[in-house]
Structure 1
Amino acid sequence: MFRLKKSWRRWFTVAAIFSLLFIFVGCSKSSSSKSDSSSASKDATSSKKVQIVFWHRMTGTWKTSLDKVIDDFNKSQDKYEVKGITQGSIDQLKQKVMAAARSKTLPTITQLPYTSIPDYITQGLLEKVSFTADQKSDMYPAILSSTEYKGDNYSVPFADSTQLLFINDQLAKKYNLKTPTSWDDLKTIGAQLKKDGVYAMSLDQSYDMVLESMANEAGYPFVTKNGKANLSKPEVIDAAKTILDLKKEGFLKTAEEDQYGSVAMLNNKAVYGIGSSANIGEFTNRAKKGQTFSTAAIPAYKGKNGDVISANNLVLFKSSSADQKKGAKAFFNYMLKPEVAAYWAKKSGYVPTTKSAMKEKVYQDYVAANPSYKAVEESIESAYASNQFAGYDNFRTKMLSAVDSTLTTNTTAQKAFTSLQKDTEDILKQNK
């Protein structure tokens, strides 16, 4: 009996030892497995691309083309991945940016109108960007100017357009008209067409951009680079009167509920119209059977040619990480490559942002096949950017109201723009 108990104890002791060994070995294997898993996780994390979130307003074919550019960039390197997210209209985009700024959930980069950028700078939201000397010399002066504020660069050109004179070719041929090169020419043409109920010129619902071009040509930008308002200057008021007098005489039409001057031209109610170069595709797509439309530089005012550009540029937020900032700048440089900028211009209808992109064979071949784009190069060479200042969006709201008052309540140009002068001076003071 004693021996049996002793043997049992000996077996139990051995079993216990083996159990402990099993547990120890098992724990070691488990620990090793966790360690291996942790190392693999770190390796996967270190090899993962830095994500660059890009908010924009592109939809439809513009979004499809931009997605292709983004995808090509992502495939061109293994450090960064740009994720493009459309936010609808430009107003919706701006609202979402401001909401994200309040909640500290801003993307890495976004698209913004260049005239709105100073407001974001004054709030401390934007990172400066830099260009090489070669990149600067390659940009058209107006486009480079749109990226600058108080001597520094804060944005990268992206979706820029100029103003062009659109021509209804069939009507121009029917009336044997020569393309107007000055606003005085429009008076002569208007008198010839009025008997048939056809307008010489058709403009969008607001004539503010056309007026701004005329004011610049007269030597008086709406607001100077040093922050002086010129809205009540006789030269600016005279330019507004030129437009309003042509309208009063029945030679010029501004759009009403339809908002766009292209409508009258497409309906054969106007021979000429001034609009964005980005609208070339719209005329082509909406032309009726037998209709063709060509383009030219807008009429000169006071003997000078030139138009104010529209530009939506790319900006980088300060809240981004150091790696995201590096990735954003890599993407910006990619967008400025001649072949990439030419592709984007061809697909989007926007102006090539650089001279080298304009000369790219893919773009020149496109212009040869689509003659309506020939005037784009001429217009961008003589174009200029609006002078940027904090409070610009507020100013633009006041500007649109002043223009509307001259069209809907017959307020004189003198009264409307003298009042706008005071409003603008107040805005400039408030944002110093």
Structure 2
Amino acid sequence: MKKVIRNGLLLIVTLTASITLAGCGQQRTSQSTRVTVTFWHGMTGHNKTVLQGLVQDFNRSQSTYRVVANGQGTFSNLQQKIMTAAKSKTLPTIAQTSYTNVPNYVKGGLIAPFNTDLSAKELAGIQPAFLKAGQYQGKQYALPFSKSVRIMYYNQRLLKQLNLKVPTTWKAVQHVGQVAQQHGLTGLALDRAYLGELNDLAHAAGQPLVTTNLKVNAAAPQTVDAVQPLAHMLKTGTAKTAGADNYGNVRFLKGRTVLYCGSSAALGLIQASAPKNFQWGTTQTPSYQGQRANCVAGNDLVRFKTGTKAQRQGGAAFIKYLLQNRQTIRWATQTGYLPVTTAAATTASYQRYLKKHPKFKAAASELKTSYTDPAFLGYSQYLTALQTTADDLAVKHVAAATTLNKLQQTTETIIKTNQN
């Protein structure tokens, strides 16, 4: 009898093991039949962790595709690796990049548009400024992901100490700078590449540095006048740009600077780095002559032509997943980037988040006055020329009219050379 029981138990164990192994074999087969979608990005630190969580959740949400995310370090490194991979024909399925790279990608025959992958309704649900940025030659080549705007950070303790209010205009910012300087403080901190502020002032004056029709307005009298307040602050030392650290938040967090104009993407970093007793807040960027303009920055997602049709479909499926409310809100609330769809921005959950975290309200408010630079061949050369203008004003204290006239001539040459 005992022998029969032992044989019966042995049979049960054997059958159980066989079933288990069979199940494992089926799981491996299921995983191996998934279409692999490679995704290159430039996220690091906390943002990389959040992104990896989104990737894992997408992979669990369906059984057709498997996204493999690979961080490439800085965005500069990412762009270099994309161009190297283009030459060796080893590009990923999708990648994070600036929409201003789209013209070069299209010229090289590297990327495919998304028009047939997203319905008109889905495209219309994306924030207008973000959607427009990814359009080139009538097609939607890029879709938004990590988008940001410029905001102004302020030191509450210093404003109170100097008996000043949070400034809302550039004239008021100049006044803050003058009062701060009298007390041995810095009025305004800027990034080394404070190109957004120069661009916004020109836009507020009704003279975009480069229009959508590629007309250059850098030397227009209205542009020169608009840049004067900032140029004067840089010349007098009431405003200072960052040095080797590149970003003005480093100076701001030392507690001797009243204001800092920078990216909303720095919110998370400042929140994590600020000393416990550091009292600070955020507001919209200052207006000029009653007008406010805010250039959209950040990165988008593009899909390369490499790989199989199934891989390209998988890339589109993953991006559509990221555009859904739940993922968009999760990304925005955990990183400080903006919701990329109008539906997500107006959801009760995101509004509750803003109420609980008021420092993030300024960035959301800036969407009403946001705009995007036109993407064109030679844009990277134009940015280099614009940085030269910024350095002329901040370091060499060249007259605004002189350096903007040089920018006008250089940019016109860049556009003419690249568009022919």
How does the TM-score come out when normalised to structure 1? 0.86
8 A Cα contact 2:235 2:397, kept in partner = no
Equivalent in 104, 114, 119 of residue 129 of structure 1: 114
**1:13 corresponds to:** none
State the partner residue of 1:162. 149
Partner of residue 55, structure 1: 40
Percent same amino acid at aligned positions? 35
Three-state SS of the structure 2 residue aligned to 1:431 is helix
How far apart in 1 are the matches of 2:394 and 2:177? 19
Amino acid at match of 2:109: G
Which of the numbers 152, 156, 161 marks the counterpart of 1:174? 161
Among 191, 194, 201, the alignment partner of 1:214 is 201
Distance 1:353 1:209 in 2: 20
Query: 1:327 and 2:310 equivalent?
Result: no
After TM superposition, give the deviation of residue 155 of structure 1 in Å: 0.7
Write the distance in 2 (CA, Å) between the matches of 1:376 and 1:219: 22
Per-residue Cα deviation, 1:123-167 (whole angstroms, up to 9, x for no partner): 111101124333333222211111111321101111000111111
Q: Is residue 97 from structure 1 mapped to residue 82 from structure 2 by the alignment?
A: yes
Residue 381 to residue 140, structure 1, CA distance change in 2 (3 Å) = farther
Secondary structure, counterpart of 1:275 in structure 2: strand
Match of 1:253 among 229, 240, 247: 240
Kindly state the Cα deviation for residue 264 of structure 1 after the two structures are TM-superposed: 2.5
1:140–1:381 CA contact under 8 A, matched in 2: no
Residue number in structure 2 paired with 1:72:
57
Return the letter of the residue paired with 2:102: I
Q: Provide the rounded CA distance (Å) in 2 between the counterparts of 1:411 and 1:174.
A: 34
Q: Is the 8 A contact 2:293 2:370 kept in 1?
A: yes
1:190 and 2:177 are equivalent in the alignment: yes
Counterpart CA distance in 2 for 1:272 and 1:363 is 27
TM-superposed CA distance for 1:228, in Å, is 1.4
**Structure 1 gaps, min length 5:** 1-39
Unaligned runs of 5+ in 2: 1-24
How many correspondences in the alignment? 392
Q: Which residue among 68, 71, 74 is the counterpart of 1:83? A: 68
Task: Name the residue aligned to 2:390.
Answer: 403
Deviation at 1:415, TM superposition (A): 2.1
Residue 269 of structure 1 corresponds to which residue in structure 2?
Answer: 256
> What is the rounded CA distance, in whole Å, between the counterparts of 1:292 and 1:53 in structure 2?
43
Q: Report how far residue 46 of structure 1 moved.
A: 10
CA shift digits 1:291-311 (9 cap, x unpaired): 122111100012111210112
Distance in 2, matches of 1:268 and 1:59, equals: 27
The 3 A distance-change label for structure 1 pair 76 and 211 is same
Structure 2 CA distance for aligned equivalents of residues 262 and 213 of structure 1 = 19
2:133 counterpart residue number: 146
Q: Secondary structure at the match of 2:295?
A: coil
Amino acid at match of 2:143: V
**Partner letter of residue 321 of structure 2?**
Y
TM-score w.r.t. structure 2 length? 0.89
Query: How far did 1:223 drift?
Result: 1.1
Q: Do the aligned partners of residues 81 and 189 (structure 1) sit closer, same or farther apart at CA in structure 2, a change above 3 Å counting?
A: same
Distance 1:323 1:406, change over 3 A: same
Q: Does 2:192 align with 1:205?
A: yes
The one-letter amino acid paired with 2:120 is A
